[in-house]
Structure 1
């Protein structure tokens, strides 16, 4: 059995294009009922680096691409400072539909639950199967749980490269949205520098 594939299931897609076409009709959980669209991964089909976030946000849900909102801007900036070319990375999420709570006209992010993460792992597993990267970066707790299980703790394990029997090595770090939530500017800048330090390890790991 392929190491990326859930037991009892056989992938049909032989390319990311085919996998994305399948994903557009996903009904594996109920999140599709309210989201605008499936937000599939984006980037080179043979990328050495795969960045995995939590789920699309409001802007990503509308645009149909991952990490195009404020967190994506922070990610771009920090990757550049870490001397990692984002254009050479494949960027995706553990969960492919936007989960939210409606508050008036606003749609507020709601954390995906374990069942939704598990249901969506089919797509992430097959993205990794088809790309076969050198290194996977888990951006935040949801991504880390999807890739490595619930025992991983981001603040305890951040900066570590964890070997897995199922995936290429996984570098654990924060999600860039965490930096945006820090109100104190000094603390936010310190956290951003720490994030850049984590990302700086990617280059050597991707060779």
Structure 2
């Protein structure tokens, strides 16, 4: 039954996932997810947003500080950069479904009351969130998935995924029992951290243009 807590060592969202419902029902159920310890420090669950079905699905890593506060994915600096890159590549962000592999913000603090510093989720935490991502995929039924960064890639394609080995290529894989086409690229936050930000941004746009070629522009 949805909402039944998982054992402490189980690390799975499966007991909380509403079966056979809409995205609205999933979002409501996800608000009470206790499938791994990340919910304890996070402000709230940050679920995916956008149309369903949708031709394009964007999967990132996890919410950041602003996403955790606002309850929406990709509303911080990385999200703004991603929207600009999508538009430049010929993809309309408003027509894509956007989500993260992990639904709670994982962070650390250098000192008490200091700003919250992003901490990458473990593969175990990403795997625990897998049932939410599987349920989203089933309802969104995307023609193409853009995989943003290593954590999203490992959540979808397994621990051997290396983003720099396959970025900007079209992959065809079975994901949660569905044949999917995927285009991996770097996470927009990696562009913000890059020494040569302009070059990194151009690389992201180039990868997204591969998605345009595979999918056709969203209109």
- Farther off after superposition, 79-88 or 155-164: 155-164
Deviations for 1:42-92, whole angstroms, at most 9, x for unmatched residues?
Answer: 111111100000000000000000000010011011001101000000110
Match of 1:68 among 56, 72, 75: 75
Structure 2 counterpart of 1:154: 163
Structure 2 counterpart of 1:113: 122
Query: How many Å apart are 1:8 and its aligned residue?
Result: 11
Query: How many Å apart are 1:204 and its aligned residue?
Result: 3.5
Structure 1 counterpart of 2:193: 181
Structure 2 counterpart of 1:3: none
Aligned length: 199
Asked if 1:139 corresponds to 2:148, the answer is yes
Contact 1:117 1:146 in 2 (8 A): yes
SS in 1 for 2:174: coil
CA distance, structure 1, for counterparts of residue 100 and residue 20 of structure 2: 19
Structure 1 counterpart of 2:39: 32
RMSD (CA atoms): 1.9
SS in 2 for 1:168: strand
Q: Which runs of 5+ in 1 are unaligned?
A: 1-5
Query: How many Å apart are 1:7 and its aligned residue?
Result: 9.8
Match of 2:184 among 150, 169, 172: 172
**If the length of structure 1 is used for normalisation, what is the TM-score?**
0.91
Structure 1 counterpart of 2:92: 85
Query: How many Å apart are 1:170 and its aligned residue?
Result: 1.2
Match of 1:96 among 103, 113, 135: 103
CA distance, structure 2, for counterparts of residue 38 and residue 192 of structure 1: 29
Contact 1:145 1:151 in 2 (8 A): yes
Match of 1:122 among 131, 139, 143: 131
